Amino acid sequence: MAEDTDTLRRLHIEVATMERWVAAGWIAPRAPQAPGYTEADLARACLIRDLREAMGVNEEGVGVALGLLDQIHGLRHALRRVAAAVHGLPEPARQEILVVLRELDEGPT
């Protein structure tokens, strides 16, 4: 836990502040059997710190911003899965998908 405290201090985040963010559900630290924060947790904490301190975003706004970022992350993950599935298809099927996507981009004719 001392390592976490030192890391938070270097990031200019008070331990009590991080605990509030965890309680708010903004940060989800590792399970109790693996205590500590991941790099992703710390990056998210820095984002929250910047939103709150540098940009003056209120708590409700932070929640909205984090929710939207989580949705974007989920969509990117889903898109990677679709791309991997398409990549595994035979070439004629991939070409047909490209044709359909181009038609969708062009809109109704």
Q: Could you tell me if 73 and 51 lie in one domain?
A: no
Same domain, 74 and 51: no
If one counts the domains in the chain, the total is 2
pLDDT at 57: 97
Question: Looking at the structure, do residues 49 and 100 belong to the same domain, yes or no?
Answer: no
Q: Do the domain assignments include residue 35?
A: yes
The rounded mean pLDDT for the chain is 91
Return d(Cα 50, Cα 42) in angstroms, integer.
12
The length of the chain in residues reads 109
HEC profile of 16-72 = HHHHHHHHCCCCCCCCCCCCCCCHHHHHHHHHHHHHHHHCCCCHHHHHHHHHHHHHH
pLDDT at residue 30, as a whole number: 72
pLDDT in tens, 31-69: 666 668 889 999 999 999 999 999 999 999 999 999 999
Q: Which of 14, 33, 57 is the last residue of a domain?
A: 57
**% the chain with pLDDT above 90:** 80
Widest pairwise Cα distance in the chain: 64
Are residues 73 and 46 both part of a single domain? no
Query: 50 and 85: one domain?
Result: no
Burial class for 3, CB neighbours closer than 10 Å (0-12, 13-18, 19+): exposed
Q: What is the domain range of residue 104? A: 68-109
Tell me what pLDDT residue 1 has. Answer: 55
Question: Whose CA is closest to 26, among 42, 14, 39, 10?
Answer: 42
Q: What is the mean pLDDT of residues 25-33?
A: 79
Query: Average pLDDT in the 95-106 region?
Result: 94
Tokens 């949705």 found at: 71
Residue 36 inside a domain? The answer is yes
